Structure 1
Amino acid sequence: MTTTASADAGPASVYSSYLACLDEADEYAAIEVARGLLARGVPAERVLLDLVAPAQAEVGERWARNEWSVAQEHAATHISERVVAAVADHAAPRPTRGRVVVACMDGEWHALPPRLVAEVLRLHGWQVTFLGASVPAAHLVSYLHRHDADAVALACALPMRLPHAHRMIEVCRRSDVPVVVGGRGFGADGRWARRLGVAWAPDAPSAADLIADERALRRVPVADLSHLADDEYAGLVTRRAELIDSALADLRERAPATRSYTPPQLDSTVSDLGYLVDFLAAALYVDDGSLFTEFVEWLVTILTSRRVPPAALGLSLAHYGRVLRDFPRAARYLDQGRSLLGRQDAA
């Protein structure tokens, strides 16, 4: 009976109420929900990982389904950050281990997931310095030179940031500080972390266990990036602006409706064309076409939820394929993306 009562009082029992608080942008009520769990003896780690984390994932899904606006998503994220702060203040663990630096990759603005990792590491006894979102590599190195650290935990939510991630990983290693990475940007199974030769943790508790075992943290295969010798990645990055401009011109020629786009619609189109180039570049960097096709599949879902016909996406993929015909790997990934669109249209 005690076990059942304890389960009934856990995060699952208040999940719907907590989501309602986020939906209503009620910061104080959300904090009270978390404090209520803590008052009933629910461990702080469970509140963070079984309430805040899944609720934030749902926030992202509601934005993707076009059920919530960007403003609603931002408001909910801010509230979750305040809840995390309240839980951390309640737990207030004293450090018994060394220092761990937690940061987002340069250009990475999704700071809540690594903040959750930072708080879980604190609960495991580590002295944690959380540097927040979009930390330039040079600034991270400067910090590591001034403050000794036992490990660095780096977060990446978007695979298109993997080339930047690799540079940050390497600068940490040159400072002789072991690195663990996490986040969806490294693949659901961490396959792109392995390609970059870095230890990967699927969740915060796993990161804590890995950091506690320095030998395991340093025992990772060497990065295999010999494919970069073909210069496709470097060539694509150099031509980024040219590619976006030419794709937009082609789209206006082949899809006349785009000529009457409003400024916000035009901005979104240019952003999507840029994302296609950036994800294609990241796929070239790790030599894995699934990175690009997974993005294409996600983008189709986003466009469809916003009632934007994905046919224009097929036109842009075809244009990039023609312009990049001398880039064999890039052309192959673009063909795979077009094939994916064809299968979805047939379905």
Structure 2
Amino acid sequence: MTATVTEAAYPGYLECLAEADEYAAVEVATGLLEAGVPAERVLLDLVAPAQAEVGERWARNEWSVAQEHAATHISERVVAAVAAYANPRPTRGRIVVACMDGEWHALPARLVAEVLRLRGWQVTFLGASVPAAHLISYLHRYDADAVALACALPMRLPHAHRMIEACRRSDVPVVVGGRGFGDDGRWARVLGVPWAPSGPAAADLLADERALRAAPPAALDHLADDEYTSLVKRRGELIDSALADLRERVPGVRQYTAAQLDSTISDLGYIVDFLAAALYVDDESLFAEFVEWLVAILVSRGVPAGAVASTLDHYGQSLRDFPRAGRFLDRARTRVDAPAGAPGR
């Protein structure tokens, strides 16, 4: 019955997001609560899938960044309204929930924080992009039974590992979640940290201290080849050379507006960052999947897939002395079907 009621409300709620109607969206959510739908189900069956659809519409270039931001703001207001309506009292210890440094997608972590709160935990939500030093300083000042760290983008995995290890040095167990660790948590296993696929799963894991502390050690022996560290040191050089290569091959790049140039530089940097993360966890699929996603995003915005292919070729030539990186670039290159062409914005 609960699922049916929530499913019936979903189209109207999504329309509220599309119309940027904050008050109507809140009314949909509170109406479900008043009808007896548990707060957790409103969060997980209404807000979460609607926000996922918002991201898909941006990716398909159906919604602008401004529309996506407006919808996300409304979703945050709805989560706050649901939390205020439920207003649970803590019966368990303190959990600190935070996003990785540089990670600005805070809503999924907020949803997990509210599920934990509904399950009786005293939750401190630190929000988006929390620097590791600030998190550790907070843990030293306030006792916490555990930390839940969220990561939406795999390129943040090296940062995530540093934050995980810093928490452990403070003797605070960690659970992680988010698509940045892989849909099946495979990169969490490489980093040697427990992973939860959802808010309820995180709540169950946090309630089992033995399981929380029983993760196997990180499997990072491959970092001995120093490719990851060397690539990170060369990041600026690689981006500059790739941009110069684009200007040489495609004279139109020289007439880019400031906004077009910024977008191009960002894309070149993302390619390096995702390659570095793939080297860190030694998984070529991480980089290949990113390249497929990037191509789809750029093609939807009028940029030919060949522009990415040419950049991968350039990076491959620049990294001839990096065997693992070369293999990853070759694997990703095979997933780009279109012939090389001029980039555009």
- TM-score, reference length from structure 1: 0.96
Deviations 1:203-256 (A, max 9, x none): 000000000001001111100111111110000000100000000001111223
Q: Pick which of 306-315 and 29-38 moved more.
A: 306-315
1:80 alignment partner, one of 75, 86, 94? 75
Tell me what 1:134 maps to.
129
* Amino acid of the structure 2 residue aligned with 1:239: R
Cα separation, 2, equivalents of 1:114 and 1:168: 16
1:325 alignment partner, one of 315, 320, 323? 320
Tell me what 2:276 maps to.
281
Deviation at 1:54, TM superposition (A): 0.2
Confirm whether residue 229 of structure 1 aligns to residue 224 of structure 2.
Answer: yes
Cα separation, 2, equivalents of 1:312 and 1:112: 33
Confirm whether residue 302 of structure 1 aligns to residue 322 of structure 2.
Answer: no
Tell me what 2:170 maps to.
175
Confirm whether residue 158 of structure 1 aligns to residue 153 of structure 2.
Answer: yes
Confirm whether residue 29 of structure 1 aligns to residue 24 of structure 2.
Answer: yes
Asked if structure 2 preserves the Cα contact closer than 8 Å seen for 1:240 and 1:274, the reply is: yes
Cα separation, 2, equivalents of 1:331 and 1:252: 24
Cα separation, 1, equivalents of 2:122 and 2:255: 55
2:308 alignment partner, one of 294, 313, 319? 313
Pairing of 1:113-262 with structure 2 (within 5 A): 113-262=108-257
Tell me what 2:343 maps to.
none
The 3-state SS of whatever aligns with 1:201 is coil
* Amino acid of the structure 2 residue aligned with 1:149: A
Confirm whether residue 112 of structure 1 aligns to residue 107 of structure 2.
Answer: yes
Tell me what 2:329 maps to.
334
Asked if structure 2 preserves the Cα contact closer than 8 Å seen for 1:236 and 1:281, the reply is: yes
Asked if structure 2 preserves the Cα contact closer than 8 Å seen for 1:103 and 1:132, the reply is: yes
* Amino acid of the structure 1 residue aligned with 2:106: A
Deviation at 1:87, TM superposition (A): 0.1
* Amino acid of the structure 1 residue aligned with 2:281: V
The 3-state SS of whatever aligns with 1:340 is coil
Deviations 1:95-122 (A, max 9, x none): 0000000000000000000000000000
2:49 alignment partner, one of 44, 50, 54? 54
Cα separation, 1, equivalents of 2:29 and 2:36: 11
Cα separation, 2, equivalents of 1:275 and 1:204: 29
Confirm whether residue 15 of structure 1 aligns to residue 10 of structure 2.
Answer: yes
Deviations 1:242-274 (A, max 9, x none): 000000001111223322222211111100000
Cα separation, 1, equivalents of 2:246 and 2:329: 16
- TM-score, reference length from structure 2: 0.97
Cα separation, 1, equivalents of 2:278 and 2:165: 19
Aligned-residue RMSD, C-alpha: 1.1
Cα separation, 1, equivalents of 2:335 and 2:77: 41
2:91 alignment partner, one of 96, 101, 116? 96
Cα separation, 1, equivalents of 2:153 and 2:245: 27
The 3-state SS of whatever aligns with 1:341 is coil
Cα separation, 2, equivalents of 1:321 and 1:181: 33
Deviation at 1:71, TM superposition (A): 0.5
Deviation at 1:310, TM superposition (A): 1.5
Residues matched between the structures, number: 340
2:259 alignment partner, one of 261, 264, 281? 264
Deviation at 1:66, TM superposition (A): 0.4
The 3-state SS of whatever aligns with 2:95 is strand
Cα separation, 2, equivalents of 1:72 and 1:31: 18
The 3-state SS of whatever aligns with 1:38 is helix
Q: Pick which of 256-265 and 205-214 moved more.
A: 256-265
Deviations 1:148-196 (A, max 9, x none): 1111000000000000000000000001111000000000000000000
The 3-state SS of whatever aligns with 1:103 is strand
Deviations 1:23-75 (A, max 9, x none): 01000000000010000000000000000000000000000000000000000
Gap regions ≥5 residues in structure 2: 340-345
Cα separation, 1, equivalents of 2:30 and 2:119: 20
Cα separation, 2, equivalents of 1:79 and 1:106: 24
Deviation at 1:7, TM superposition (A): 4.6
The 3-state SS of whatever aligns with 1:153 is strand
Q: Pick which of 111-120 and 304-313 moved more.
A: 304-313
Moved over 6 A (4+): none
Deviations 1:295-333 (A, max 9, x none): 000001101111111111111100000000000000110
Gap regions ≥5 residues in structure 1: none
